[in-house]
């Protein structure tokens, strides 16, 4: 019996050491910094470039959908230019993540960031102090010219004072951050310039790099890695307003757009959000031009047919 107690005591001590050790390791890895290069990008005050930036911010790149104040939704739906004061909260199993204030306010926004700081945050996923930008944005392979246009637009806007709360990670979030989540960077070298036109090639760029259609319409594993055939649909997304399934967009007969003509596709986007609470950023996409929508449609029609293979049962 005494021997048994002794063993228990030792096991207890070992567990205590392990837990303390793991806790210290996890906490010491919360503010890890990463070295990443600065893209050679500077803002411009050329009105054509700023206009291109604006069309991306409020359209395909849907920055406004995440970075505008939550009470701005109705204004935004009505087609207005809402300020980027931040505030959208992602309430996830590992914590609450707040979309930053990306207005030019010095204290609460990104007014202190240089053009290159912003470019690096979007392309390489690190903040000016080297800490991680969580991978919520798909712009790593955005062209130099489009990054320049977006930064030029942001820099030309008035500051909005709005203190966005700090992220609140729970224990699981801390562990994920310590060991699994790394800054996401570009695949290969991003293009200097991608010519906007109605081609499938431009559609591919929009659907994967700018508008993130791929990000939602492809099945992902538990750590966010793509595990399904791109654009073949994904498991239901649980939202406050209900459960929504990103449908298959390939050329499979089970695809949601199998029978849609190019004109049907454009008309559907002009209608905006039809299912209340759907997470798809319809108000932004509604503002895309016909050329952009044609390009996306033409690209989707080049995809091989693939059936949806969702992790969670589709209901
Ligand atoms: C799907 C939602 C979403 C979209 C769309 C989005 N963002 Fe973000 N963005 C976020 C979140 C969430 C964060 C906070 C990440 C973090 O702090 O780690 C963020 C952070 C940032 C940061 C870093 C801010 C900082 O604190 O250093 C910048 C810059 C930024 N976004 C710019 C943009 C621009 C420009 C666009 C459009 C081209 C855009 N975002 C589109 C969700 C989004
Ligand atoms: C944030 C996740 C998200 C993003 C990004 C996203 N979608 Fe969706 N999509 C959904 C969900 C969820 C639905 C189902 C609910 C609905 O129809 O609104 C959907 C529905 C659709 C539908 C069917 C609409 C209907 O009336 O049946 C089409 C077509 C579509 N998406 C295409 C796209 C394209 C093209 C893009 C990129 C420009 C895109 N989606 C980006 C999540 C997303």
pLDDT tens digit sequence for 62-80: 999 899 876 666 777 777 7
The H-assigned helical ranges of the chain are: 2-28, 47-58, 63-67, 73-77, 115-124, 144-155, 171-179, 200-205, 213-217, 262-270, 282-285, 290-300
**Exposure class string for 131-147: b at 16+ Cβ within 10 A, else e:** ebbbeebbbbbbbbbbb
Rounded CA-CA distance 14/24 in Å is 15
Closest to 291 measured CA to CA, from 193, 206, 192: 206
Ligand 2 center from residue 112 Cα (angstroms): 35
Rounded CA-CA distance 281/156 in Å is 24
Ligand 1 center from residue 287 Cα (angstroms): 20
Beta bridge partners of 90: 97
SS3 at position 245? coil
pLDDT in tens, 84-142: 998 788 888 889 999 999 999 999 999 999 999 999 999 999 999 999 999 999 999 99
Q: Which residues line ligand 2 (CB under 6 A)?
A: 207, 211-213, 215-217, 237, 244-247, 249, 256-257, 268, 275, 278-281, 285, 296
- Any ligand 1 atom below 6 A from CB of 150: yes
Quote the pLDDT of residue 178.
87
Quote the pLDDT of residue 82.
86
The H-assigned helical ranges of 207-275 are: 213-217, 262-270
Low-confidence ranges of the chain (pLDDT < 50): none
Closest listed ligand to the CA of 90: 1
Take atom 27 of ligand 1 and give the residue whose Cα is closest. 127
Rounded CA-CA distance 72/272 in Å is 16
- Any ligand 1 atom below 6 A from CB of 116: no
Ligand 1 center from residue 28 Cα (angstroms): 25
How much is the CA Rg of the chain, to the nearest whole Å? 22
What phi-psi label fits residue 242: left (phi over 0), alpha (psi between -120 and 50 degrees) or beta? left
């Amino acid at each position: 019996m005494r021997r048994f107690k002794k063993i228990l005591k030792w096991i207890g001590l070992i567990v205590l050491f392990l837990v303390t050790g793991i806790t210290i390791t996890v906490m010491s890895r919360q503010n890890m910094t990463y070295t990443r290069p600065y893209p050679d990008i500077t803002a411009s005050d050329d009105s054509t470039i700023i206009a291109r930036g604006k069309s991306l911010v409020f359209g395909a790149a849907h920055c406004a959908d995440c970075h505008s104040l939550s009470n701005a939704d109705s204004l935004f739906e009505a087609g207005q230019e809402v300020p980027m004061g931040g505030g959208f909260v992602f309430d996830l199993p590992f914590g609450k993540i707040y979309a930053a204030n990306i207005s030019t306010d010095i204290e609460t926004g990104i007014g202190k960031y240089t053009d290159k700081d912003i470019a690096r945050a979007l392309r390489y996923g690190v903040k000016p102090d080297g800490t991680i930008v969580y991978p919520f944005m798909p712009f790593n392979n955005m062209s130099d010219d489009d990054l320049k246009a977006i930064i030029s637009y942001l820099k030309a806007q008035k500051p909005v004072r709005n203190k966005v709360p700090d992220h609140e990670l729970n224990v699981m979030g801390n562990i994920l951050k310590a060991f699994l989540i790394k800054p996401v960077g570009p695949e290969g070298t991003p293009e200097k310039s991608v010519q906007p036109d109605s081609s499938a090639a431009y559609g591919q760029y929009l659907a994967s790099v700018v508008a993130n259609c791929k990000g939602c319409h492809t099945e992902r594993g538990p750590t966010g890695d793509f595990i399904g055939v791109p654009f073949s649909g994904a498991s239901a997304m649980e939202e406050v307003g209900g459960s929504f399934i990103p449908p298959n967009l390939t050329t499979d007969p089970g695809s949601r757009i199998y029978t849609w003509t190019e004109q049907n596709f454009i008309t559907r986007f002009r209608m905006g959000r039809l299912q209340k609470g759907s997470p798809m950023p319809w108000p932004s996409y509604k503002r895309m031009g016909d050329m952009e929508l044609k390009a996306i449609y033409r690209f989707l029609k080049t995809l091989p047919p693939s059936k949806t293979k969702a992790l969670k049962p589709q209901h």
